[in-house]
Amino acid sequence: MTRPVGAERLAPLRLLVVDARVPTPNRDGGSLRMVHLCQMLLARSVDVVLASSHPQSFPPFDTTLADDSARLTAMGVRLPSGGDDVEAHLARHGRDYDVVLMSGAFVASRHLSAVRRFAPRATLVFDTIDLHFLREFRAAKLTGNVPRLQHALALKRIELGLARAADVTVVVSEHEQELLRAEVPQASVLLLPNIHARVDASAPLAGRRELMFLGAFTHDPNADAMVWFVRHALPALRLAAPGLGLRIVGADPTPGVRALACDHVVVTGCVDNLATEFDRARAFVAPLRFGAGIKGKLLLSLAHGLPVVASPIAAEGIPLVDGRDVLVARTIDDWVHAVTHLLADDAAWTAQSAAGREVVNGHYSFEAASRHVDALLARIRSRRADASEGFA
């Protein structure tokens, strides 16, 4: 039986997202990116289905599974019927898909063979989220932890192998795009960064005094950052700015983070309205000591017009100019100088607020992300057209 040449080109793309669990955009930046990506794909008439390795989720994310699932279906994303997991869904419907996008190295390594077996005509997209091996190498270097170094080496083998096996690999920053292309020259590596909604208004400067941090504490670079900052940088800051307080915002704080709470440190846990937190803060601090990819916490803060003081790791991958869009701090003295500058100089605060917001709008808004999403879809459609031309 032959299929009419060109028929494939006319049909809408059918795309399966394979994720570890139903995304939780109120709890972590990776989920927010995935939900925004699905919104953009749906707006381009792509039929999007999301299947999870753990369809019933797992703690602590299972408590909001019903709401998170309802949010996706209200957008137009379909979930597998009957609670099927990835393998069962692929076995039933794999041949229907033009694209399978696998989110993260652990998900991709777990389901790669099933995707190739049950969805043989689909373009396989490996979404790195961030290069996990890079994050783990940095953590191992920071801590001197040999098992963590061994884990980083194992992750590197896995992620580079996935980039070789995938038809297209996507990364969130040009830095990681260059790194991966150097390691796997034969891989097709496209840029697909974080995506953020524009925030056109925020609270006035008057009355802002506190510092703020935001992070999902199931991600250990965030917990490490807060423990280091409260123990080492905040005492020096409070000597320079008596009465200065810090609000640590984010889901699932670890026992170590909860233990930081005191009269000048508030640990809020997950909050219903992040805009309220951004509007009360004078500066956002991002003292990450290891990590990879693009830090959504920075982009959210910049989008809300809240100036950021960040470590070099936290600012990595974002086209920020130190002293204009962000203040980069490498030492405790740098932290003191940068934060007290934003506390004391209203004009500098206002200028950095506007500059940071412009970076997000220019590079990470839905409008800015369109060219990356369209480039990915063009690559997929080209592969589908080539396959259709050769089908007989």
Per the listing, tokens 């696998």 go with 102
What's the residue count for the chain?
392
Which pLDDT score is estimated for 389?
60
Per the listing, tokens 């050769």 go with 390
Residues 299, 279 share a domain: yes
Q: What is the pLDDT of residues 341-390, one digit of tens each?
A: 999 999 999 999 999 999 999 999 999 999 999 999 999 998 887 766 65
Which token pair is 196? Answer: 């953020």
Which pLDDT score is estimated for 4?
36
Averaged pLDDT, 240-251: 97
Residues 291, 179 share a domain: no
* Contact between 250 and 222 (Cβ < 8 Å): yes
Q: Domain limits at 67?
A: 7-195+365-389
Residues 383, 282 share a domain: no
Per the listing, tokens 């320079």 go with 240
* Contact between 1 and 86 (Cβ < 8 Å): no
Residue 24 in domain = yes
Residues 322, 269 share a domain: yes
Per the listing, tokens 């005191």 go with 262
Which pLDDT score is estimated for 128?
97
Residue 205 in domain = no
* Contact between 163 and 187 (Cβ < 8 Å): yes
Interhelix angle 65-75/29-43, rounded to 10 degrees, is 20
For residue 242, the cross-strand partners are none
Residue 1 in domain = no
Q: Supply angle C-alpha 315, 319, 321, rounded to 5.
A: 80
Alpha carbon distance 164, 108 (integer Å): 12
- Residue of 137, 139, 182, 135 whose CA lies nearest to 160: 182
Which token pair is 20? Answer: 């570890």
- Please give the residue that has the higher pLDDT: either 3 or 378: 378
Q: What is the CATH number of the domain that holds 137?
A: 3.40.50.2000
Confidence of residue 7 (pLDDT cuts 50, 70, 90): very low
Q: How many domains does the chain have?
A: 2
pTM of the model: 0.92
Residues 190, 163 share a domain: yes
Alpha carbon distance 81, 219 (integer Å): 31
Alpha carbon distance 104, 20 (integer Å): 8
Residues 296, 311 share a domain: yes
From the number of C-beta atoms within 10 Å of its C-beta (0-12, 13-18, 19+), residue 313 rates as buried
Residues 6+ apart with CB under 8 A from 295: 29, 286, 288, 310, 314, 315, 316, 317, 318
